[in-house]
Amino acid sequence: MLDKLVNAFGPSGNENEVRELIKKEIEPYVDKIEVDAMGNLYAIKGENPEILVCAHMDEVGFMVVEINEDGTLKFLPVGGIDIRTVLGKRVKVGRNKIPGVIGSKAVHLLKPEEEKALPQWENLYMDCGFTKKDEAQKEISPGDYAVFDTEYTENGEYLIGKAFDDRIGCYITLELAKKNFPFPIAFVFTVQEEVGLRGASVVGNKLPVKIGLILEATAAGDFPQEKDLGRFPAPGKGPVITRLDKRCICDKELVDLLISIAEENGIPYQIKKPTVGGTDAGKIHLSREGVRCAVISVPARYIHSPVSVIHKKDVENTMKLAAKFLERTGGSR
């Protein structure tokens, strides 16, 4: 199932394919499924759950904004993408997933001043093999989305693919839904996280829960010759527990509980030290009268790029830690 989720086409605002995959997989294990006007998917076990588990379905991607006379496509990023990572990369464009390449000047054609400057989005284009505007218009329209064309693969203990942020959270949430917790619980898959936590903005108002567990991917920093990035987590060293980031200070009791559970059960863990980024907890914890939130993340190299890398053991240990956390918090109702 993880390969299907990672390979699926699902940029922010166009998560339909991912949602349908999840809906089909989770339906036998829950009592009720709903989709709200934003596109968030709610899979509910039992009545009146006080706990939710949340992961976002969307990935960073692109939107076509104009078709040039020569059939190439002007586009803009959807979500935070480092422009340096996109040059020459393969993409899938539009409803028919037309294959294309993000083009720019070859190095041989660059002027000296261009060699030293970062490329600009307005100077890039997508080349899908069309030679005329009217030819391209038969397949693609302004407003169509595109995503990186990267296939999921495995390399020993490592998993390689696009969109682990946050399809890995979706996968773990799905697996948790298959377990028989003896209390009501809501499994929520949100939209538009990458463009401002927009789907999560309505989740906490729809579900009057008391505790939210957000499952995510977070940036790893174990790069060669980058000693100052050692404060960032590393793949293979365990799930990452967040104390705070730019959007949320996690509930201290829940953070301490996660640490205690990990230590009691021999689950390796890491603490997110830099207060960078944000998750759906940033909106959910502000819902209604407030929701106590905790965040567990799988460390991933190269997130928000055409390909990222995670470790199998981190996935397994995140699942263990999340399951035991739910048993402890749900059992105290």
- What's the pLDDT tens digit per position in 119-177? 889 989 999 999 999 999 999 999 999 999 999 999 999 999 999 999 999 999 999 99
CB neighbours of residue 87 within 10 Å: 13
What are the residue boundaries of the structural domains of the chain, listed by start? 2-59+162-330, 61-148
- What's the pLDDT tens digit per position in 219-252? 997 777 656 555 678 899 999 999 998 889 999 9
- Return the pLDDT at 74: 97
Confidence of residue 330 (pLDDT cuts 50, 70, 90): confident
Q: Which of 15, 25, 50, 193 is catalytic?
A: 193
Task: Verify whether residue 27 is a known catalytic residue.
Answer: no
Mean pLDDT of the chain: 93
Looking at the predicted structure, is the pLDDT value of residue 18 above 80?
A: yes
Looking at the predicted structure, is the pLDDT value of residue 331 above 60?
A: no
- Return the pLDDT at 273: 79
Say if 2-59+162-330 and 61-148 have the same CATH topology: no
Burial class, 246, CB count within 10 angstroms (exposed 0-12 / middle 13-18 / buried 19+)? exposed
Domain 61-148 CATH (choose: 3.30.1490.20, 2.40.30.40, 3.30.565.10, 2.60.120.650):
2.40.30.40
Domain 2-59+162-330 CATH (choose: 2.60.40.1580, 3.40.630.10, 1.10.10.10, 3.50.50.60):
3.40.630.10
- Return the pLDDT at 301: 94
Quote the strand ranges of the chain, DSSP E.
32-35, 41-45, 51-56, 61-67, 73-78, 90-93, 98-103, 125-127, 145-148, 153-155, 158-161, 185-190, 211-219, 240-242, 270-272, 292-300, 308-311
Rounded (10°) CA dihedral 255, 256, 259, 263: -160
- Return the pLDDT at 153: 97
pLDDT, average across residues 39-49: 96
Provide the whole-model pTM.
Answer: 0.93
